[in-house]
């Protein structure tokens, strides 16, 4: 199911939360809405679910206009941040709930629930109650419950934010595999850039209710549309073009110039600087250098350098990001 948002506006009182948003999501795509708290991404998701209606603009699922259509008539399923599993029901009955509401015959229901639990590796715990499950296991139940109804669109509302780092990575991998297997059109809201980069087919970066850029993870990271996107996705060294360092690097007529820490390399003919911070992370040495121009540069280097070391660094022109504002 493809999804189209055309000039969507949502206000709460006098505050515009979503400001003339245009988005087209392809059938079978894993599409991310990425931004900081308050940027409008969750409000957009809730409009897709039918919990809110836009003041202006239109929402289409395929060729069907969805403005005013109640949530239960949209054939969407939502995976919440806080799991939202029924505490008095077993794992099996939690997953079966949506099918029972839809009047699915018992034989088919049992098979579909069993298959869904197997997909999320929870079939062995079908008779457990949620109180005996970990947070990760409860989120797997919530994922199975959403998938079992065979929605046209699967909506994710920051589903991994309550989990610890190890579980987040584990469930990210599971979600990626499940999406590859089912190809259900999915819209995923998060503030976690790593989550978006690792899972998304495409990402819409939002700020203050507006879409700043839509693109693949590689496009968003390597060719950011503006300085906001560049600074929100990953780490970046960003300087006004008038700064001494930017002039030495060749800022030209740009308003600002930036480069990623991993694009910095040590070179005998490079610009001189002193290591003022050094953190060894195994796969890289994360350093901050105080340049002779007075500015500070973050660099991720393959070899370890102690604090106080003098280095010369270079950034290739092709790795410079130039911004008009």
Closest CA to 91 of 141, 137, 136: 141
Q: How far is CA 290 from CA 178, 296, 312, in A?
A: 46, 5, 11
Give the per-residue pLDDT at 307. Answer: 96
Give the per-residue pLDDT at 253. Answer: 76
Percent of the chain topping pLDDT 90: 83
Which class for 310: exposed (0-12), middle (13-18), buried (19 or more C-beta within 10 A)? Answer: exposed
User: Rounded to an integer, what distance in angstroms lies between the CA atom of residue 23 and that of residue 312?
Assistant: 45
Give the per-residue pLDDT at 323. Answer: 92
User: Rounded to an integer, what distance in angstroms lies between the CA atom of residue 249 and that of residue 264?
Assistant: 12
User: Rounded to an integer, what distance in angstroms lies between the CA atom of residue 131 and that of residue 85?
Assistant: 10
Q: How far is CA 155 from CA 32, 112, 252, in A?
A: 10, 20, 44
Give domain limits for the chain: 3-230, 237-323
Closest CA to 147 of 100, 192, 183: 183
User: Rounded to an integer, what distance in angstroms lies between the CA atom of residue 272 and that of residue 141?
Assistant: 55
User: Rounded to an integer, what distance in angstroms lies between the CA atom of residue 33 and that of residue 191?
Assistant: 8
Q: Are 71 and 52 in contact (CB under 8 A)?
A: no
* Per-residue pLDDT reduced to its tens digit, 14-46: 999 999 999 999 999 999 999 998 999 999 999
User: Rounded to an integer, what distance in angstroms lies between the CA atom of residue 251 and that of residue 313?
Assistant: 17
User: Rounded to an integer, what distance in angstroms lies between the CA atom of residue 242 and that of residue 229?
Assistant: 21
On whether the 237-323 domain is CATH 3.20.20.150, my answer is no
Q: How far apart are the first and last CA of the chain?
A: 38
Give the per-residue pLDDT at 33. Answer: 97
Give the per-residue pLDDT at 39. Answer: 94
Give the per-residue pLDDT at 276. Answer: 97
User: Per-residue confidence at 83, pLDDT binned at 50, 70, 90?
Assistant: confident
* Per-residue pLDDT reduced to its tens digit, 245-295: 999 888 777 789 999 999 999 999 999 999 999 999 999 999 999 999 999
Looking at domain 3-230, its CATH class is alpha beta
* Per-residue pLDDT reduced to its tens digit, 145-201: 999 999 999 999 999 888 888 888 988 988 999 999 999 999 999 999 999 999 999
Length of the chain: 325
Q: Can you give the pTM of this predicted structure?
A: 0.90
Is pLDDT of 321 > 80?
A: yes
């Amino acid at each position: 199911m493809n999804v189209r948002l055309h000039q969507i506006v949502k206000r709460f009182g006098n505050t515009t939360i979503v400001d003339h948003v245009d988005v087209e999501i392809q059938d079978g795509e894993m599409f991310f809405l990425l931004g900081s708290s308050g940027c409008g991404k969750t409000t957009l998701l809730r409009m897709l679910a039918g919990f809110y209606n836009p003041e202006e603009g239109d929402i289409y699922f395929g060729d069907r206009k969805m403005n005013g259509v109640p949530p239960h008539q949209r054939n969407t399923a939502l995976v919440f941040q806080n799991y939202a599993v029924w505490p008095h029901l077993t794992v099996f009955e939690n997953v079966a709930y949506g099918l029972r509401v839809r009047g699915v015959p018992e034989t088919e229901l049992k098979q579909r629930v069993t298959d869904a639990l197997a997909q999320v590796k929870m079939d062995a715990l079908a008779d457990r109650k949620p109180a005996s499950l970990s947070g990760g296991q409860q989120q797997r139940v919530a994922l199975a419950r959403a998938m079992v109804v065979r929605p046209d669109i699967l909506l994710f509302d920051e589903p991994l934010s309550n989990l610890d780092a190890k579980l987040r990575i584990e469930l990210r991998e599971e979600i990626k595999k499940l999406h590859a297997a089912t190809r259900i059109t999915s819209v995923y809201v998060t503030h976690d850039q790593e989550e978006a980069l690792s899972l998304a087919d495409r990402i819409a970066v939002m700020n203050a209710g507006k879409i700043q850029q839509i693109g693949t993870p590689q496009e968003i990271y390597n060719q950011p549309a503006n300085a906001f996107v560049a600074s929100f996705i990953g780490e970046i060294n960003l300087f006004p073009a008038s700064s001494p360092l930017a002039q030495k690097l060749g800022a030209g007529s740009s308003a600002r110039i930036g480069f990623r820490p991993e694009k910095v390399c040590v070179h005998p003919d490079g610009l001189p600087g002193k290591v003022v911070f050094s953190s060894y992370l195994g796969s890289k040495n994360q350093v901050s250098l105080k340049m002779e121009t007075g500015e500070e540069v973050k660099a991720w280097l393959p070899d370890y350098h102690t604090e106080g070391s003098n280095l010369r660094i270079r950034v290739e022109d092709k790795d410079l990001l130039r911004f008009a504002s």
